[in-house]
Amino acid sequence: MPTTQRALSPSTGNDTLGGVPEILYFDFQSRGRGQAVRLLLEDAQIAYDDTRYSFQEFPEWKETGLVKLNPVKTVPVVKLNEKNLTQSYAILRYFAKLLKSYDGKTPEEQFWVDALCDIASDWRTLFLQAFLNPNQQETYPKHQQGDRKRFLEGLQVHLTSNDFSKAGPFILGQAFTYADIVLYQVAHDENLTQEGGKGLQQYPRLKQLVDAVEARPNIKAFMASDRYRG
Amino acid sequence: MPTTTRCGTPSAANSTLGGVPTIHYLDFASRGRGQVVRLLCEDAGIAYDDVRYSFDEYPAYKESKIAQLNPLGNVPVVELGGRVLTQSYPIVRHWARVLGRYEGEGEEERYWVDVICDACADWRTLFVQAFFSPSKDTAYPEHQRTTQQHYLTAIDKLLSSSPISAKGPYVAGTTFTYADMVLYQVLHDEGLTQDGRKGLGGIRG
């Protein structure tokens, strides 16, 4: 059976969204695409119901329950105001619009945030392909030396040369957006943020971003709570 | 050497965007993620410079010219008004906002358009993986039987059951958006739009 836990207490953010969203996702620690949605809600202090499916029960629920909520049969699914929201990046962009926060202000800023989110998405796709591969012993180290390195180097260049990003610490400098969450999350799931950001030593601008995300008061509180599971 | 062709004549839409975009992409018929960017330009009457790299020459350019424009080394890369734009879906979303069309009206519609676009992006990723696999002879038919079939059924269901999509032929009903182009393009590249829509038999067009 999936477990459900209420996180945080309803706030004005919940009024803006129109309720308490229920997030249906894997019970995989604090990892995955769905975690980015949880993290945005934590940062915004928006109460949510965290429903988690174990890897064992997921395959059956996928064909019986999930298919009725989302014909594409992917998670996260967010139930809010009698709607079933799907596609994690679209959900983040939608919440950003409703909250009038977590995105750029001008078309140029919004494009840049979108582009960085998409880059992180491309990275995550390749990461998962290598990590969840039956031949993981070979494919994952190959990914770490190859694609992952290319993304880390490319992001380091982008964030130090782009006019919006170079002052830091976030993608848009002082303004925190959904793309910082997405980028943080893939670095976290690749175990690059832990142990004082050991894995990011060669990428100081990325380390600066990661440190700034973790320093945000509500995210810091989340990570110190029992809702953060590694 | 890559080829460059000026397509179209500069229009008011070019003025809105701030110039004639130069689109750097693969010379792969009218296919791929970059084709969606070309398609938006064609539909909007935006003149663009179509720079095409053959599959043979691309690896060398990826490490040199493209890497200078885009540290990630992937295409499409668009040069416009002294800026470099990368990542095909953000590019079309950005131009939709700047042009004031191709996005849908209101947050609910825009979110829905974004959902279909993102689902197609997921589909395309799996399609490309199978199509360009070293064991394509087994991987691609397997993809057609499973993943392709799954997305066709699922997206048809999404569009059929959405009150927004129900109002018309497009994802956002009567409004044509970037998601229609993205969806069209993946169907096209999967060979499903050709031969009188043979591949789409039984599925709402």
Determine whether the interchain pair B93/A114 forms a contact, defined as Cβ–Cβ distance below 8 Å.
yes
- CB distance B72–A89 less than 8 Å? no
How close, in Å, is residue A224 to chain B by CA atoms?
Answer: 33
Which tokens in the block code for residue A31?
């990892």
- Whether B204 has a pLDDT exceeding 50, the answer reads no
Which of A86, A98, A111 is nearest residue B107 as measured by Cβ atoms? A98
pLDDT at position B127 is 95
Tell me the chain B residues in contact with residue A114 when contact means C-beta distances shorter than 8 Å.
87, 89-90, 93-94
Query: Which residues, in sequence order, are CB contacts of A164 under 8 Å at separation 6+?
Result: A104, A108, A109, A112, A171, A172, A173
Helix axes B106-131, B136-143, angle to 10 degrees: 150
Token pair listed for A91: 């959900």
Confidence (pTM): 0.86
SS3 call for A197: helix
**Tokens representing residue A61 in the block:** 């629920």
Q: Return the residue matching tokens 């964030």.
A: A159
Which pLDDT belongs to residue B201?
60
Query: Chain A residues contacting B, CB < 8 Å?
Result: 71-74, 85-87, 89-91, 93-94, 97-98, 107, 110-111, 114-115, 117-119, 121-122, 125, 129, 150-151, 153-158
A149, A122, A143: which is closest to A131 by C-alpha? A143
Quickly list DSSP for B117-138. HHHHHHHHHHHHHHHT-TTHHH
If one counts every other C-beta atom within 10 angstroms of the C-beta of residue A35, the result is 26
**Per-residue tokens: A19:** 């309720």
Residue range B143-152, pLDDT digits in tens = 999 999 999 9
Question: B153 pLDDT band (50/70/90 cuts)?
Answer: very high
- CA B77 to CA B53: how far, in whole Å? 12
Positions of chain A with pLDDT lower than 50, given as ranges: none
Instruction: Test B125 with A107 for CB contact under 8 angstroms.
Output: no
| Whole-angstrom distance, CA of residue A4 vs CA of residue A23 | 9
Which DSSP category does A77 fall into?
Answer: E
Residue B128, pLDDT > 80, answer yes
Report residue B205's pLDDT band, with 50, 70 and 90 as the boundaries.
very low
Separation of alpha carbons A76 and A39, rounded Å: 13
Q: What kind and span of H or E run contains B89?
A: helix B88-99
Q: CA A183 to CA B197: how far, in whole Å?
A: 40
CA distance B176 to B158: 17
pLDDT, tens digit, for every residue of B17-70?
Answer: 999 999 999 999 999 999 999 999 999 999 999 999 999 999 999 999 999 999
Q: Which residues contact B176 (CB under 8 A, 6 or more apart)?
A: B43, B102, B170
Given an 8 Å threshold on Cβ–Cβ distance, is B115 in contact with A90? yes
Say whether B114 and A93 touch across the interface (CB within 8 A): yes
In the predicted model, what is the mean pLDDT of residues B80-105? Answer: 96
CA dihedral B171, B175, B177, B181 (to 10 degrees): 70
Residue B198 pLDDT greater than 80, yes or no: no
Query: What is the spatial distance between Cα A82 and Cα B49, in angstroms, rounded to a whole number?
Result: 46
Residues 6+ away with beta carbon under 8 Å from A209: A159, A168, A169, A170, A171, A180, A183, A184
pLDDT, tens only, B184-197: 999 999 999 988 77
Classify the C-alpha dihedral A20-A22-A28-A31 as positive or negative: negative
* CA A55 remoteness from chain centre: 19
Q: What is the mean pLDDT of chain B?
A: 93
Burial A133-160 (b: 16+ CB within 10 A, else e): eeeeeeebeebbeebbebbbbbbbbbbb
